[in-house]
Amino acid sequence: MGDHFFSADPQSADVRRTVEARIWGKPYVFTTATGVFSRDRLDIGTAVLLRETEPPKQAGTFLDLGCGYGPIACALAVEVPKATVWAVDVNNRALELTGVNAAAAGVAERVHAALPDDVPGDVLFDQIWSNPAIHIGKPELHKMLLRWLTRLAPGGVAWFVVGKNLGGDSLQRWLTEQGYPCERIGSAKGFRVLRATNAAPAPS
């Protein structure tokens, strides 16, 4: 079986290149490589997610779930100077590239690239951002999302982008059924942009 972008250690040669992107009005040059998600450009779904949303207004702890080479994580850290950003992926090459790109953006000290099991268990997230790996299959997708949604702080928000033809509307319903009220806030190029909220009250 060939490499997938969700392979832990891609066997393909590590051939690198750069791609340019504009996120929330700022230009970026990202280093990418073979064996990682959307190595030739900023993925269309990710681009739609970022175009249909605004960056966080306040500092906090944010999660880029399925970070790839780190465009969302880097942009969050640049936009919110006091933010702490966890960039999580199962692909070690992607995590290495996230570190490279965070350093290039001047935010390496605030972007923590990590495997899922390496995120401290006591960390809660004020916001989660994700272009989730739909192709891992619905059972694994739901398991992954619930793992991280349970660490969304009370009142926290999760932003997702999912292809309409890949279950975007059903995911919206499922998130609401799991106790995370979800609304569609945008739709473009065949993608749905979803906003889910942890409606649990904050601890007194």
Mean pLDDT, consecutive 10-residue stretches, the chain (204 aa), reads 45 72 96 73 89 95 95 97 96 93 97 97 97 82 94 96 75 92 90 91 58
User: Is there a domain that residue 26 lies in?
Assistant: no
Domain-embedded: residue 35:
no
Is 202 part of a structural domain of the chain?
A: no
The span from the CA of 58 to the CA of 189, in Å, is 30
Domains identified in the chain, total number: 1
In a domain, 174, yes or no: yes
Strand-pair partners of 184: 194
The range of the structural domain enclosing residue 157 comes to 43-197
CA distances from 32 to 71, 145, 150 (A): 10, 25, 31
- Confirm whether 36 is domain-assigned: no
pLDDT of residue 10: 52
Distance CA 46, CA 38 (A): 10
pTM of the model: 0.89
Domain-embedded: residue 53: yes
Report whether 62 contacts 84 (CB < 8 A): yes
CATH of the domain at 130: 3.40.50.150
Residue 27 falls within a domain, yes or no?
no
Pairing status of strand 125-130 against strand 152-163 = parallel
> In this structure, is residue 10 part of a structural domain?
no
Task: Find where tokens 């979800």 sit.
Answer: 182
Residue 150's pLDDT is 96
